[in-house]
Structure 1
């Protein structure tokens, strides 16, 4: 299936402040900055989207929570939902990490989330626990807005967005109106 570039850009009133990129199973054999640790084509495409189209990004890691791309980390095998996954520890870590991403002077903080369903569900659970003070976080989940039937469709979408050079989200005008748009208001 070909994913068409949707009409319109993210409305100016819905500025994107950053992106959360899901980690990947394929990793380098030694410690590296997080942006270089994950080696799959899928991760690299999400990383390229984030580096080119948003002001800043972080990696959502099952082992480390929300990680700055420059932070050096060792390879690991933890996976959200895996046998060795400590959900409570992950939720606590991510809640703390996400609280640090809000800005009291900017309402709300909007983040594009490029993750699989397991990671997105865990992220939403973590946000429900986060103490962001008066801040608010809204998640923009483009992979939920289209007719994506898997990673191939998601990569086609990412390719189209990169080629266009814009944050062309599948339902750009529905950021605050779609029932599939995840908005978590904290504070």
Structure 2
């Protein structure tokens, strides 16, 4: 098993947000985000939010609500976003060896290439699952079964 210190969990932002600025970990209010947050925190690893607006966001970073999503960005903009996130990620975790994605395909597609080039292992435990299946997976695999 890889050292916890070199593993990062990446959780994608969601459209459901509070109406005022707050810490990023509390800004996103969907059930999926909350369960992914709980799962990531329970891992003991560092975790970050993949924000379409801000790139890589720490859970304690203060940010305001926004309406940007990678799902409506063009390919070139998503490539630029992934370049930015990769730079941010390697700045905060220069010895990164493993990434666990709790994020959809658009959030992973170009970022994965950057990680693979640097020899970072990639895990996508919920790949191919629909939203309801992801929610169930997170509940089943979380050390705390509280919803």
Partner of 1:115 in structure 2? 103
Partner of 1:161 in structure 2? 141
Q: How far apart, CA to CA, are the structure 2 residues paired with 1:18 and 1:65?
A: 15
* 2:78 paired with 1:72: no
* 2:78 paired with 1:95: no
Q: Secondary structure at the match of 1:27?
A: coil
* 2:20 paired with 1:25: no
Partner of 1:179 in structure 2? none
Unaligned runs of 5+ residues in structure 2 are none
Greater C-alpha Rg? 1
Task: Figure out how many residues of one structure are paired with residues of the other and give that number.
Answer: 141
Cα deviation, residue 157, structure 1: 1.0
Q: Secondary structure at the match of 1:19?
A: strand
Partner of 1:140 in structure 2? 123
Q: How far apart, CA to CA, are the structure 1 residues paired with 2:144 and 2:94?
A: 29
Q: For residues 121 and 73 of structure 1, do their structure 2 counterparts lie closer, same or farther at Cα, with a shift above 3 Å needed?
A: same
Q: For residues 88 and 55 of structure 1, do their structure 2 counterparts lie closer, same or farther at Cα, with a shift above 3 Å needed?
A: closer
Q: How far apart, CA to CA, are the structure 1 residues paired with 2:122 and 2:62?
A: 26
Q: Secondary structure at the match of 1:26?
A: coil
Cα deviation, residue 63, structure 1: 0.9
Q: How far apart, CA to CA, are the structure 2 residues paired with 1:83 and 1:113?
A: 20
Q: Deviations over 1:141-185 (max 9, x none)?
A: 1112xxx540111111111111478xxxxxxxxxxxxxxxxxxxx
- Residues 27-46 of structure 1 mapped to structure 2, 5 A cutoff: 27-46=17-36
Name the structure with the higher helix share: 2
Cα deviation, residue 15, structure 1: 4.1
Q: Deviations over 1:24-77 (max 9, x none)?
A: 110011111110110100000000001112321011111111111000011111
Q: For residues 92 and 49 of structure 1, do their structure 2 counterparts lie closer, same or farther at Cα, with a shift above 3 Å needed?
A: same
* TM value normalised by structure 2: 0.83
